[in-house]
Structure 1
Amino acid sequence: MTDAGTPRDRALGGYRPEAGSNSHVADRPVKIPVPSLLRSLLTDHLDPGYAAAAERRAAADDGAPRRPRSRLADGAWLLAGVAAVSAVFGTAAQHAVSMAPAATKTQHVLSANARTAEGRARESTTTRDALAGQVEAARRSRLAGDAKGRQLLAALEAAEFGAAATAVAGPGLTVTVTEPGPSRNLSDVSKQRVAGSPQIILDRDLQLVVNSLWVAGAEAVSVGSVRIGPNVTIRQAGGGILVDNQPVAGPYVIAAIGPPHAMQEVFEHTPAMQRLTLLAASYGVGTSVQTRDRLTLSAASVRDVNFARQSGPK
């Protein structure tokens, strides 16, 4: 290996200018040495341009003494930077403090409006139920007078019961489903329960429970005190569940009126119970199935039907 100590040697990748030439044979062409990239990487650890700049800087330093850097100037720049950062944070803090009362006031106004709307909705519901009771009493008194009226009244009662338009009471079964609490095992990502995360119990789980109760022999079903009727839906809305467009919070109580023990025996072998058992084993969802001697389910909301079509054979 040739010596690559001079700048010219380094520029040629570690070779001397006469490397590769044959000066002992007359009239032979002089070979131009080709630098080797591997040899250059092994011998030169600094780019030639940087090496030349370093040499010029060293020569300039040798000619004129270098002026020492002022610590006072460095300290002044440091203090200026700290002051600028402090001013920015101070302005942001003052802005946040000044905006806090307005945000709090807005929250109070919105909360008051929400409570007022809820109160009006409850009053309207009470008034509606009272008027519906008066209409029912007047209808019964008018139709119960003759045989044709009683026959028509029986048909109306059967239709209203099928439409969940009347309140019912009797023995039955309750299925209570409870969301799991925060998990202590943070190594399992699927069990972490943080604020704002999607809940474990979804709308399709409650739908499966309701359908399984119908199969088990239920005559009337409610979810979270909301009666299930022909026009009632159970759907997901962000982080909550809506039953007939009414928010239902956990624990979710599904009540069904019917033969309690017979319904429980059938429900234990339905896909809904298998699903709840899987959720309990995987995520800690709470499930409770209990028989009741008496349950009272309110009537469902009755909506006007604008369009209908008969299904099946006429």
Structure 2
Amino acid sequence: MPDAPTSDRARTPLLTLITQESMDEDYQHVADRRAASRQPAPTGRRSHWTAAVVVAAFGVLVTIAAVQTSASSGINDANRDSLLRRMEDQRAEAADLQTRIVRLRELIVGLQTKYESAAENAQSAENRTERLAATTGFGAVSGPGVVITVDDAPDGETVRGEDLALLVNGLWEAGAEAVAINGKRLTARSALHNSGAAINLNGPPPMSPPYVVSAIGDNKTLPADLLDTSSGLAFTNVADVLGFSVKRQNVDDVTLPAATQRQLRLRYAVKGTAEQNRIKHGKETAP
């Protein structure tokens, strides 16, 4: 039948067909070379054995390639899965970090608010401390005021502590905010008293005339208001009778020093309530 070769060729596997045709061409090429060199051609059994070896080798190569391709595909799939897991882990980590950032921002805002409040309280306390220091005498102050210089009388009458006390009390009553005598600041614990002919104020050294009484206040009204007080009027009368030298001067800026630290020591008051202090000092009264 003329169609038999074609039918056999159609039914032959492609890999086998390629191998056979390739081997036939190779065999023909070898036969031609041997014929040209007058060498006997190889037997058919030997050629078929050679073809089988080549086909087997080619099959091994194809199998190895298939195995390598399959292994590479598995590795690629594993790498892809690993990358996907890492991406998911990194997304979760990024979400956690974002949450932490939001919480930290809220914490910073809260701390900033607390800091601003604490700063305002600290500034308020500092201002209050400065005001208290100025009014109590334990802080240096400056401003406009008057300076009154008092000296002994020419005929020998000397100024005593009680005389200066009248002047100082009059200045307080007239509205003075701070008073000092010869550079010594007066406080609520200050006392003017004589030690012989000398006058003591806040401890040694004693003061000597002339006595410079500096007071901070409105210098436009303070001198006149001084004369309207009972203490100021009493001092003026004593100075006139005894012949003291009194000179008044309005100043636009006068600086009074702070009281010495020695005056800050309290001899009796301790921290606690008034009831606790009475008990501590044995002054509790019977009910």
Point out the structure with max Rg over C-alpha.
2
Q: What TM-score does the superposition give when structure 1 sets the normalisation length?
A: 0.45
The structure carrying a bigger helix percent of its residues is 2
Q: What TM-score does the superposition give when structure 2 sets the normalisation length?
A: 0.49
